[in-house]
A and B are shown apart, each in its own frame.
Chain A
């Protein structure tokens, strides 16, 4: 009887230990989130209720995927389509006629992309003033030479 009880206890422990092991099973679940778009006007104000057009680019061919409007924070989200690696996103503010911005989103490059911000503003200003100084020098030289020829 002792042996039988021992076997039963060992068997029960084994079964229970299996149950405990399964409690530590790790689960993996995948979910594709939405692509978020944020747009703003120079100066930092968000493009509120701006028209958004999303084009999907497949093998160089562009096709309108969906349209929508940005929220009050200038944000817009859309679900990606399986198989599409590239999108062109166009935002047009409704209260700013004549303005439009667009960006190309490549899904294979996992990083955010931004358009219209080539370099920091302060660098743009410094470069511009530098160009103006250079242009002033060059035009002065040109006018001086012209006068000398006369």
Chain B
């Protein structure tokens, strides 16, 4: 639902989305090391498939985003992962437009980086809480960025924010709980999967 379709945004906004995405990609893609690739592929696969898990909500349905989990596990590489995932979702699943890949990556990738930042301030005793908080914040930030992007089309900002937030309350709750639990589990069994550096 946070994937914006083609034909909605102006050329200026689309171009800005591509420029920001290209700039962040250029600065983060060089940090990929050979040993990160299996983890990057696995998490990208999870992000790619997550958009197919729909939660029925009144007249509509919303799907998981998982950008918070991507941020926690991949750190600065999360932006690259989200870019690849969004490209595949757009071309293979029809989620979001092709021209909006830049904007959609920006709207989901920047919150993933923010989730990584929040997670780094973690409370070691309550790692589940830190993970959940980071994931919930990532979804909220994604909704706000999407609303801000749609606002440029001339729609009333408050109305869009309310509509998108209302639709995403279940997703915020689900992702907070799921990512919090995954974080706690990974910390116990495979802490190296969490990006704690």
Interface residue ranges, A against B (CB under 8 Å): 41-45, 48, 93, 95-102, 116-119, 121, 124-125, 127-129, 131-133, 135-136, 139-140, 143-144, 147
Contacts and interface: CB of A to CB of B under 8 A. Distances in A.
28 contacts: A41-B61, A42-B63, A44-B61, A45-B60, A45-B61, A48-B59, A96-B60, A96-B163, A98-B3, A98-B4, A100-B5, A100-B6, A116-B94, A118-B92, A121-B52, A121-B93, A124-B93, A125-B52, A128-B92, A128-B93, A129-B45, A131-B88, A132-B45, A132-B48, A135-B84, A143-B33, A144-B34, A147-B34
A143 B95 CA distance: 31
Given A42-B63, A43-B56, A128 B94 contact: no
B37 A140 contact: yes
A141 to B, nearest CB: 9
Contacts of B92: 118-119, 124-125, 127-128, 131
B94 A99 contact: no
Interface string B150-181: 10000100001001100100000000000000
B17 to A, nearest CB: 13
A102 B167 CA distance: 23
Given A100-B8, A102-B7, A132-B48, 7 more contacts: A42-B54, A96-B60, A98-B5, A117-B94, A128-B48, A129-B45, A136-B40
Contact of B60 (A95, A100, A116, A135): A95
Interface in B9-44: 32-34, 37-38, 40-41, 44
Interface residues of B, number: 42
Contacts of B38: 136
Given A116-B94, A121-B93, A124-B93, A136 B63 contact: no
A53 B19 CA distance: 32
A136 B7 CA distance: 32
A48 B164 CA distance: 16
Contacts, number: 102
Interface string B135-163: 00000000000110110000100001001
B88 A143 contact: no
A97 B61 contact: no
B94 A42 contact: yes
Contacts of B186: none
A104 B162 CA distance: 33
Contacts of A131: 88, 92
Contacts of A48: 59-60
Contacts of A96: 1, 60, 163, 167
A97 B164 contact: yes
Nearest to B94: A116
B34 A43 contact: no
A42 B61 CA distance: 8
A129 to B, nearest CB: 6
